[in-house]
Chain A
Amino acid sequence: MASTPTSGKAKLETVTSPSNIASPEQMLQYFKDMLLIRRFEEKAGQLYGMGLIGGFCHLYIGQEAVVIGMQSALLVQDTVITAYRDHGHMLACGMSANGVMAELTGRKGGYSRGKGGSMHMFSREKGFYGGHGIVGATGPLGAGLAFAHKYKGDNGICTAYYGDGAANQGQIYEAYNMASLWKLPVIFVIENNKYGMGTSQTRHAAGVLYKRGEGYDIPGEKVDGMDVLTVRAAALKAVEYVRGGNGPYILEFDTYRYRGHSMSDPGKYRSKEEVEHMKENRDPIDLIRKAILDTEKFSEDDFKKIEKDVKAVVNESAEFAQQSPEPDPSELWTDILVEG
């Protein structure tokens, strides 16, 4: 499908140094993948504004480098699970922009045929296990996917994402304990965007998140989540450790969401200057763009072409999401139980 990022899951490579962590071609691909998420989310925001998307809609804008860097270190058999800020993860897993956007508009062509919505989409084929609305649930659910990898011996690992706010839920620590005890191949990925809704990290979390695994013998690292190459370097290291049968790993990414928590958040809990500062100085797409230009392998023309391609994919998804019909009323009664 045209909208599938092609970098997706790559072969595991050895980490040498951040300067050759990715080839110029790979870097260009990360740029494209991040731009797809950015433009997709902007379009989703626009469709929301038109009343075509309802309910809760949590945009990933600003955090793109985290999932793209992580994904670049995974293999096809690996699995991904996250919470409700999930559109970026789906696109990064290679799910189609059309299918995701049509789920946002609640149409038949959506990944859940319109029955899941923004927060609930799945693709077993792409190793994406949701899309969950309960804060903290992805910790144990991800450990469970890792349990299955180990049980089946498929050499896969799971990346279980959750936020800084979610990091305070008790079930996360129940999952840490069992994941470490049973050496489950799971990377707990904390996307620390500094806020759980309107509560800043300083007001909601004691201590340091990545160190919260220490007592469970789980190594943890804090990583710049705005720079996709740094994310990739950290991901490669953590993946090697986890796939090697050493048990879980915690990666806390320092990241930032530009938009409100959801669409109806006026964002009064942080200053405009703070948001502007991040956009101006640490934007993940600007950063990779500069790094690519530094290689002198690609030029502005290459970016222009990518911009155009991405825009076409996103526009097509918006078109598809509006043309696709609403689910048939009989769908109300399907998929409650597996028949037979």
Chain B
Amino acid sequence: MPVQILMPALSPTMTEGKLAKWVKKEGDKVKAGDVIAEIETDKATMEVEAVDEGVIGKILVAEGTDNVAVNTPIAVLLEDGESVGDIAAAPAAASAPKAAHEDAPFVNPSCLPSATPAQPAAAAPAAEKEWTGPTVTVTVREALRDAMAEEMRADENVFVMGEEVAEYQGAYKVTQGLLQEFGDKRVIDTPITEYGFAGIAVGAAFAGLRPVTEFMTWNFAMQAIDHIINSAAKTLYMAGGQLGCPIVFRGPNGVASRVGAQHSQCFASWYAHCPGLKVIAPWSAADAKGLLKAAIRDPNPVVFLENELMYGQSFDIPADPDFILPIGKAKIERAGTDVTITAFSRMVGVALQAADKLAEQGISAEVINLRTLRPLDTATIVESVKKTNRLISVEEGWPYAGMGSEMAAVMMEQCFDHLDAPVVRVHGADVPMPYAANLEKLALPWEQDIIAAAKKVTYAA
């Protein structure tokens, strides 16, 4: 049967074009790959190649014609033994069906999560197990190490990779003893090549291993962020669920001490922004142990933001070999009635100190340790604000598009009618971290900033 040759779309944006020139004439024989015509698209002049063998039976659109719509028949190709007389029988060429979205109403509920919850609500994570048994005192550093060691004992696919994690026992001694127990097959020193080893770890996770990838600090993970976002976070989606990436990226995040702008910054909102990742920022040793264990068991890529200044601090944790914490669940560290303070990582401790001082002044603050930044436990925050009617968000990082901005948005969307004061963000100064001791101090949020904010929202100033 004669085949219609259609005006092709030659770029993602082309809807029509000029038929600039016919390279073949009626009666010419063509085979697949032969250039038959030239077309001017919205971007350039392009050649059209024949995709079938045959003879050009009839040219339907003359050369020089402007504005020929994509999919308009421009010629008819005759196959072996057919003649021009058969052309009437040429089938109407199949054209692209109209995509469903072209008929869709303008309002897209998927992009208005606050107005219409198009996104299916995630099942609420199970609450943390109550622990009334004995406890042990450990540092955050030991808690992290123990979490890795226990998971490595339980699953031989878990391995640790990073700079100085093996022989040197960790740049911050977090991986102390792992090489001795698990050997160099599973505790691997890498060269200083974050982009490369992040890619290798992601590739290994594609194949079903469970890498725990340490960045000496998260500052250096900027070298590797392409693999964290483009390779790890998106693959499950792009693969239609077929291939995931069970990996943990961990290391110290945030402000250290007097190390200057390139070594002191918080990446919480960078990663929390990205679907396909889970983002955790532990504060206490229990957070560190329970959440790192959960992160290693999780089948998804998890960004685990530790804090160098917390590594040496000690906390009591349950003396329970099965101890683990749920991802996606915040913890009310201190109950209160007058104002809700959210914080994560080191700032939880600062917020608790502020709450002590506030109590002396007759203001009862509820302090929520967010623990997981994505998915955020908005239910716990909203419940708290329904009681206190005030929210202060505390973070070390920059304010612009930061975690506090997200907190304010959640309040607008879910708590508007319960607020008795505007949300206040307490945050790091909107500048690269200075080195000078006095300036560094000025760039960071302190207890007194939280106290001042609490007085402001409770109109107690």
Please report A residues at the B interface, Cβ cutoff 8 Å. 42-43, 45-46, 48-52, 54-56, 79, 81, 110-116, 120-124, 129-134, 137, 139-149, 151-152, 170-171, 173-175, 177-178, 181-182, 258, 260, 263-264, 266, 268, 279, 322, 326, 329-330, 332-338, 340
Contact = CB atoms under 8 A, between A and B. Distances in A.
B378 interface: no
Contact of A174 (B99, B197, B207): B197
Contacts, number: 216
B329 to A, nearest CB: 15
Contacts of B12: 54-56, 263-264
B404 to A, nearest CB: 24
B200 A144 contact: yes
B270 to A, nearest CB: 18
Given A335-B239, A337-B276, A50 B71 contact: yes
For chain B, what secondary structure do more than half of its interface residues adopt (helix, strand, loop), or is it mixed?
loop
A49 B46 CA distance: 12
23 contacts: A50-B6, A50-B93, A79-B207, A111-B240, A115-B239, A116-B238, A130-B238, A140-B197, A141-B199, A141-B203, A141-B206, A144-B203, A144-B204, A145-B206, A148-B209, A149-B207, A171-B193, A174-B197, A175-B200, A178-B191, A332-B110, A336-B276, A337-B278
Interface of B: 6, 8-12, 14, 32-33, 41, 43-49, 51, 70-71, 93-97, 99-100, 110, 118-120, 159, 185, 188, 190-191, 193, 195-209, 226-227, 230-231, 235-244, 246, 275-276, 278, 298-300
Contacts of A124: 242-243
B238 A120 contact: yes
Given A50-B70, A171-B195, A264-B41, 9 more contacts: A50-B96, A52-B96, A110-B240, A115-B238, A147-B209, A264-B12, A335-B240, A336-B237, A337-B278
Contact of A43 (B8, B51, B246, B278): B51
Contact of A134 (B46, B49, B190, B231): B231
- The residue among A110, A141, A322 with the most chain B CB atoms within 10 A of its own CB is A141
A133 B227 CA distance: 11
Nearest to B11: A264
Nearest to A260: B46
A144 B191 contact: no
Contacts of B188: 182
A44 to B, nearest CB: 10
- The residue among A111, A177, A266 with the most chain B CB atoms within 10 A of its own CB is A266
Given A151-B159, A171-B196, A266-B46, A134 B242 contact: no
Contact of A335 (B49, B241, B278): B241
Contacts of A130: 235, 238-239, 243
Nearest to B123: A339
A210 to B, nearest CB: 20
A121 to B, nearest CB: 8
B196 A148 contact: no
Contact of A178 (B120, B193, B226): B193
A232 B81 CA distance: 41
Contacts of A279: 33
Given A50-B9, A54-B12, A333 B206 contact: no
Contacts of B204: 144-145, 147-148, 151
Contacts of B48: 49
Contact of A148 (B14, B195, B207, B244): B207
Given A51-B70, A122-B243, A137-B226, A144 B33 contact: no
Contacts of A114: 240
A264 B40 CA distance: 11
A223 B345 CA distance: 55
B192 to A, nearest CB: 9
B199 A143 contact: yes
A76 B241 CA distance: 23
Nearest to A105: B96
A132 B119 CA distance: 27
A49 B93 CA distance: 12
Nearest to A340: B299
A244 B120 CA distance: 50
A4 to B, nearest CB: 18
A51 B9 CA distance: 6
Given A129-B206, A171-B196, A116 B231 contact: no
Given A137-B226, A139-B199, A264-B11, A337 B300 contact: yes
A173 B197 CA distance: 11
B44 A48 contact: no
Nearest to B49: A45
B32 A42 contact: yes
Contacts of B199: 137, 139-141, 143-144, 171, 174-175
A129 B204 CA distance: 11
Contacts of A337: 236, 276, 278, 300
A178 B197 contact: yes
A293 to B, nearest CB: 19
Nearest to B100: A326
A120 B95 CA distance: 25
Contacts of B93: 50
B200 A50 contact: no
Nearest to A110: B240
A50 B226 CA distance: 34
Nearest to B244: A338
A194 B204 CA distance: 31
A90 B337 CA distance: 60
Contact of B238 (A52, A131, A144, A340): A131
Nearest to A264: B11
Contacts of B230: 133-134, 137
Contacts of A122: 235, 238-239, 242-243
- The residue among B120, B190, B242, B299 with the most chain A CB atoms within 10 A of its own CB is B242
Q: Which 7 A-B pairs have the closest CB atoms?
A: A144-B203, A174-B196, A140-B199, A49-B8, A148-B207, A264-B11, A112-B240
Given A174-B196, A337-B276, A338-B244, A51 B203 contact: no
Contact of A144 (B49, B51, B94, B207): B207
Contacts of B45: 266
Contacts of B97: 322
B203 A140 contact: yes
- The residue among B97, B159, B241, B276 with the most chain A CB atoms within 10 A of its own CB is B241
A147 B99 CA distance: 43
Nearest to B189: A181
A50 B207 contact: no
Contact of B231 (A50, A141, A170): A141
Nearest to B38: A266
B200 A140 contact: yes
Contacts of A338: 236, 244, 246, 298-300
- The residue among A174, A335, A337 with the most chain B CB atoms within 10 A of its own CB is A337
B8 A48 contact: yes
Contacts of A46: 8, 51
A149 B119 CA distance: 38
Contact of A266 (B44, B190, B275): B44
Contacts of A334: 241
